[in-house]
Amino acid sequence: MCIKSVCVYCGARAGALPAYAKAARAFGAALAENGMRLVYGAGDVGLMGEVARAAQAAGGETFGVIPGHLEQREVGKSDLTTYVVTETMHERKKVMLWNADAIVVLPGGAGSLDELFEALTWRQLGLHAKPIVILNTEGYWDTLRVLLDQVVAQGFAGQDTADCLIWVETPAAAIAALRETDC
C-alpha cells in the first residue's frame, strides 16, 4: 500500500505536557517532508493546530474536515489546501478516514478515542485494511494499551484486533512505520 495521505487523530487541546505539542509539530513537519498529505479535523487549536501549522510550514498538503457546528469552537483552519465542512461528526470521521491511506493517533481526548475506536472497529469488520499507528508520546496511551489487552484477554476481541495497532514512541518512528507499509 502506498501511503500518500495520513489521517491524524489528536486533541483540540494542547494537553498537560509541552512534549505533546512538540511531537505534533515534529510529526506534521515530517509528513510534509516525506510527501504525505495531512488529513485531520481542520481545527487551528490544540494539537490539531500544531500538526497542521507544522505541515503547512514544511510545504505539505493539508486536508481538513470539520462539521459546521465546530467551526467557531475549534477555530476552523480555512487556509488549508482542502477545507471541507460537513453536517455531522459522523460524516467528518467518514470523510477523514476515506481520504487517507493510514491513521496516526497522537495524544487526545474523547474525540480522539471515538475516532480511533471507530477506525479500529471498521478495520475489525473488514471495511478497511489501513495501518493504524499509535504515537505514544511520553507514554500517554499506555493505559489504552492495557485496556485493549484486557479486552482481548477477556474474550471480547481477538488478538488480531490488538495486533493491527502499531505502537511507536516518537514522530520519527511513526514515519518509519508508515514507510514500512509503503510501496
The CATH number for 41's domain is 3.40.50.450
Instruction: Write out the three cell numbers for 127.
Output: 471495511
Average pLDDT over residues 122-128: 94
165 forms beta bridges with 132
Residue 28 belongs to domain spanning: 5-180
Residue 41 near residue 67 (C-beta atoms within 8 A): no
Q: Is the pLDDT of residue 181 over 90?
A: no
Residue 161 near residue 120 (C-beta atoms within 8 A): yes
Phi, psi of 167 (to 5 degrees): -95, 125
Ramachandran quadrant class, 62 (left: phi over 0; alpha: psi -120 to 50; beta: rest): beta
pLDDT, residue 74, reads: 81
Burial profile 128-154: b = 16 or more Cβ within 10 angstroms, e = fewer: eebbbbbbbbbebbeebeeebeeebee
Stronger pLDDT, 72 or 171, i.e. the higher one = 171
Residue entry with cell 474474550: 155
Report the alpha-carbon distance of residue 114 to residue 79 in Å, rounded: 26
pLDDT, residue 89, reads: 94
Q: Per-residue pLDDT tens for 154-167? A: 999 999 999 999 99
Residue 108 near residue 9 (C-beta atoms within 8 A): yes
Quote the percentage of the chain above a pLDDT of 90: 92
Cα-only R_g, the chain: 15
Q: Please compute, for residue 10, the number of CA atoms within 13 A of its CA located in the half-sphere on the CB side.
A: 37
| Tally of domains in the chain | 1
pTM for the model: 0.96
Kindly state the helix (H) or strand (E) to which residue 62 belongs, with its residue range: strand 62-67
Q: Is the pLDDT of residue 182 over 70?
A: no
Quote the percentage of the chain above a pLDDT of 70: 98
Q: Is the pLDDT of residue 1 over 70?
A: no
Average pLDDT over residues 81-91: 96
Residue 60 near residue 28 (C-beta atoms within 8 A): yes
Q: Is the pLDDT of residue 183 over 60?
A: no
Residue 122 near residue 94 (C-beta atoms within 8 A): no
